Amino acid sequence: MPQINVGDISLNCFDAGGGPPILFVHGFPLDHSMWRQQLDVFAASYRVMAPDLRGFGQSGATGGTVLMEQFADDLAAMLDALSVTEPVVFCGLSMGGYVGWQFFKRHRSRVRALIQCDTRAIADTPEGVANREKLARLVLENGTEPVAAAMLPNLFAAATTPIRQAVIEETRQAMLRTNPEGIAAASLGMAARPDVAAELATIDVPTLLIVGEHDRISTVDEMRSIATRIPGSVLSVIPDAGHMSPLENPDAVNKAIAEFMATIR
């Protein structure tokens, strides 16, 4: 996959298909492969781009704190480097969704529509911030293993089938191979992310919200409250899925995305 120079680092980006562009932005602490059930399906009708964010997957990393604003600016620089001038449908999951709010705010003219999956608009509580700081220290001192152990139990609905168990194991492997410096920097960046709840009313592009019915991190109620604030937005609740709905119930997620894309073509 091509490495795209965005200034101080380069980003690894899946880029396939043709037609209106969709940008898939992964969650924490994962990489573009979390969209593997979507990429080829949508590349049949759209140009599909799915980068590894700064510090994740095969992309370059920087230490310290990486703000959601920085991730958003990296994506805009990546689109410039790829000569993508047509506004994109931005599809982010969880941390990818936090980046989505900032991408909309900072690069409004580049956004055709938003698909925000299993994400939140409010900032962290003080306890949440403390947990992020703890996780940043933990991963720098002890590596990715304890991060995977701490995070995995909250990401998925019950592992009742062998297929689900395989998906969980693949996700664990993605976490284990992530750069600890990248995880720490994004964790501190999420801790510092702004509360955007009051800005949701200004979103004036078509917006689809997707949430797994069993999501324990960004619950259905929380996503419903985001939906009520974004004018004209649509909420799709995905059965038999938790926080990782695109991996857990790809058929239902792909149907929701395809139907939404049909309405904006």
Binding site for ligand MLT (CB under 6 A): 27-28, 94-95, 190, 217, 243
Residue closer to ligand MLT by CB (options 154, 228) is: 154
Residue closer to ligand MLT by CB (options 43, 210) is: 210
Backbone angles phi, psi at 86, to 5 degrees: -70, 140
Q: Give least dist CB 5 to ligand MLT, A.
A: 25
Q: Give least dist CB 253 to ligand MLT, A.
A: 15
CA distance 243 to 185: 22
Structure tokens that stand for 247 in this block = 């991996």
> Is the bond into 29 cis (omega within 30 degrees of 0)?
yes
Q: Give least dist CB 243 to ligand MLT, A.
A: 6
Q: Give least dist CB 187 to ligand MLT, A.
A: 8
Q: Give least dist CB 122 to ligand MLT, A.
A: 11
Q: Give least dist CB 95 to ligand MLT, A.
A: 3
Structure tokens that stand for 26 in this block = 């992964």
CA distance 186 to 259: 32
Residue closer to ligand MLT by CB (options 17, 57) is: 57
Residue closer to ligand MLT by CB (options 216, 255) is: 216
Please compute, for residue 231, the number of CA atoms within 13 A of its CA located in the half-sphere on the CB side.
6
Residue closer to ligand MLT by CB (options 47, 116) is: 116
Q: Give least dist CB 56 to ligand MLT, A.
A: 10
- Count of all residues that appear for the chain in the document: 265
Residue closer to ligand MLT by CB (options 174, 190) is: 190
Residue closer to ligand MLT by CB (options 43, 157) is: 157
Backbone angles phi, psi at 235, to 5 degrees: -110, 130
Element (H, E) at 79: helix 68-81
Residue closer to ligand MLT by CB (options 43, 115) is: 115
Asked if 235 and 211 touch (Cβ cutoff 8 Å), the reply is yes
Sequence-ordered list of residues with C-beta below 8 angstroms from that of 212, at least 6 positions apart, any chain: 118, 157, 237, 238, 241, 242, 243, 244, 245, 248, 249
Report which residue type is found at 105.
K
Structure tokens that stand for 179 in this block = 């750069």
Q: Give least dist CB 211 to ligand MLT, A.
A: 12
Asked if 143 and 177 touch (Cβ cutoff 8 Å), the reply is no
Q: For the chain, how far is it from start to end, CA to CA, in angstroms?
A: 28
